[in-house]
Amino acid sequence: MTQAMIEYIVWEVLWGTPLVVTILAIGIYLTVRNGFFQFRFGGFAFKEAIKAFTGGGKDKKDNAGVISSFQAMSLALGTTVGVGNIGGVASAIAIGGPGAIFWMWVAGVLGTVIKMAEISLAVHYRSHNKDGSAYGGPNYYMKKGIGIQKKMHGVAKFLSALFAFGFMVGFFINIQIYTVAEAIATTFSFDMVPVAIGFTIVLYLMISGGLKGLGRIAEFMVPFMVVFYLGAGIFIILKNIAMVPGSLGLIFGSAFTGTAAVGGFAGAAFSHAIKTGMARSVFSNEAGWGSAPMVHASAKVDHPVKQGILGVFEVTVDTLFICSITALVIMVTGQWSSGLAGAELTLTAFETGIGTAGRIVLAIGTFLFGITTASGLFAQMEVVMRFLVGDSKKKDLVLGIYKWTYPLPGLALVMIAVYYAFPGTTVWLFSDMSTALPIFANVVALAILSPKFSELLKDYKARVMGIGQVDPNFKAFYEDQPTITKTQKEA
C-alpha cells in the first residue's frame, strides 16, 4: 500500500467530510440543547475536579465501583495526557500546518460537552459484576439505552458492532510504543527496536497489576507529569513572548485558507488543516472516541453527571492547555516549518527553547506519558472484550490471551516502521485509521441518547447545584429504574 493510498483512505474515506461534519454538528447540538453548560458552568466543573484532587482519592464504600472518582479521572487523564500531546499535535502541524491548531481548539471546546455526555451515560447505564464492581462504556449504553426499543434494536446492534470493531482495530495499531521509541531513540542515539522491547517489558509489568493497580499508579504519576510539561512549555513561550502574536496570527490566518510551503514544510490545504486538527484533538482528549467512559464507568460515584463533569476538566486540561502549549512551543521556536514531524518535532522545539537537558527530561516524560496512555488503553479495550465475550465459558481464557498479547502488535508496528523506513507522519496515519469508526458510531449514539443525558443533567443541576425543581421519582441510575415492560420495549 503506497503513501498516497494510505492518505486517501484516511483523509477522504475515514476522516472525510461526513465524519468532520458529524462531530461538529453533535458538539454544537449538545452545547445548545444543554444551555451552553461548558461555558456557563466551566468554573463549577473545575471546582468539582479540585474536590476530586483534594478529597476524592479515598474509596467510598457506599457507592458501587472499582476505583475512586479521582483515580478514574487520573487514569482517564493518563490516557489523554500522553503521546497525543507530544507526537499527535506535532504531526497535525506537520501535515495540516498551523491552521490545524485552530481546528484542534474548536474540537476541544465542543469536545468538553461530548465527553461529559458519554461519561454520564456510561455511568448511568453501567453493569455490575457478581462482586458488585461496576463496568460500562458505549457498547452498554447503546444496548441498554437504544436497543431496549424494538424499533431501534437494529440500529443499536449496528452501532455497537461498528464501535467494537473500530475500537479493537486499535489493538493492532498501537501508536504509543512507536512514539516512545522515537522519542528515546532520537534523544539518546539508540535504535528504536531495543527501546520498544524495553518499553514492552515495562508495559507488561504495568498491566499485571490490573485496573486497581493502574488507578493507584495513575493517581501518583499524572499530576507530576502535567505540572512538569506545563511548566517547561510556559517557560519557553514566555522566553519567546515576542513571537507569540505572529504565531497566533498564522494559526488563525491559515485556519480557513491553508498554509503555503515554507522551509521544510511542504504546504497544506484548508481540508488538511481541519481534518488533522480535529483528528489529533480527538486522539488526544478522547472526546467522542468512547474510550474514557470505559474507565469512568468503574468509578465510585453517587450521580452519573458528577463523574461526567470531570470530563469537562479533562478535555480543557488536555487540549486547551497542554496541546496548546505544545503547539505554541513548536510555533514560537520556529520549528514548525523544519520538515520534522511527530515526537521528534516536539522534542526539537523543546531543545531549542531550553537546551539539551530539556529534551532529555521531556524524552523521559514521553516514556512516562506513553506508559500511562498504553496501560489505560489496555483497561479500555478490556471493557470492549468483556462485552464481546459476554458470559461465555471461555471468558477468562479470552481475556487472559488478550492481556498477554496486548503489547505485541505495538512492538510489531515499530519493527515494521523501522524495516520499511516509514516516516512518523505515515505511522500516525495508521493511528487515525483506528479512531474514525468508533468515533462515528459513538457520536451518533450520543445524538440518539441526548434526551437521556439532558434528563440526567437537569436532575443533577436540581439536586446538587440548586437549579430547578428536584423530581423525587427520577432515578439517576438505569439499574434503579422500574422493570421495563413489553409495551415500553416495542415503543
CB hemisphere CA count around 241 (13 angstroms): 4
CA 218 to chain centre: 15
Residue 143 near residue 163, CB atoms below 8 Å: no
Model pLDDT for residues 298-308, shown as the tens digit of each residue:
888 889 999 99
pLDDT of residue 217: 64
Percent of the chain with pLDDT over 90: 39
Q: Is residue 241 part of a domain?
A: yes
Q: How confident is the model at residue 230 (pLDDT cuts 50, 70, 90)?
A: confident
In a domain? residue 485 = no
Measured between alpha carbons, how far is 340 from 346 in angstroms, rounded to an integer?
9
Q: Let me know if residue 488 belongs to a domain.
A: no
Q: What pLDDT sits at residue 240?
A: 95
- pLDDT tens figures, 146-185: 988 778 999 999 999 999 998 888 778 878 889 889 889 9
What is the spatial distance between Cα 76 and Cα 74, in angstroms, rounded to a whole number? 5
The answer to whether 453 and 30 are in contact (CB under 8 A) is yes
Q: What is the pLDDT of residue 488?
A: 42
Cell 471546582 sits at which residue?
A: 47
Mean pLDDT for the stretch of residues 234-254: 95
Range 451-469 burial, b when 16+ CB lie within 10 A, else e: ebbeebbbbbbebbeeeee
> Which of 116-125, 282-291, 434-443 holds the top average pLDDT?
116-125
Locus of grid cell 507569540: 244
More confident residue, 99 or 169: 99
Determine, yes or no, domain membership for 295. yes
Q: How many domains does the chain have?
A: 1
pTM of the model: 0.85
CATH at 306: 1.20.1740
Which domain range does residue 45 map to? 3-465
The whole-chain average pLDDT of the chain stands at 84
pLDDT confidence of residue 306 = 92
Give the whole-angstrom CA distance, residue 388 versus residue 381.
Answer: 11
Q: What pLDDT does 490 receive? A: 44
Which of 189-198, 221-230, 257-266, 316-325 is predicted with the least confidence, judged by mean pLDDT? 221-230
In a domain, 490, yes or no: no
What count of other Cβ atoms lies within 10 Å of the Cβ of residue 356?
10
491 occurs within a structural domain: no
Q: What does the pLDDT read at residue 24?
A: 92
What is the structure's pLDDT at 77?
A: 63
- Amino acid in position 365: G
Least confident of 61-70, 350-359, 361-370: 61-70
87 domain-assigned: yes
Burial (Cβ within 10 Å: 0-12, 13-18, ≥19) of residue 390: exposed
Out of 9-18, 60-69, 429-438, which region has the weakest mean confidence (pLDDT)?
60-69
| Cell numbers for 438 | 468508533
Helical H segments across 341-489, by residue range: 342-354, 356-389, 395-405, 408-419, 424-448, 450-463, 486-489
pLDDT at residue 486, as a whole number: 41
The band of 311, judged by pLDDT with boundaries at 50, 70 and 90, is: confident
Place of cell 415500553: 488
In a domain, 370, yes or no: yes
pLDDT at 485: 41
Determine whether 369 is exposed, middle or buried from the number of CB atoms within 10 Å of its CB (0-12, 13-18, 19+): buried
Q: pLDDT tens across 27-72, in order?
A: 999 999 999 999 999 889 888 888 876 665 454 444 555 566 666 6
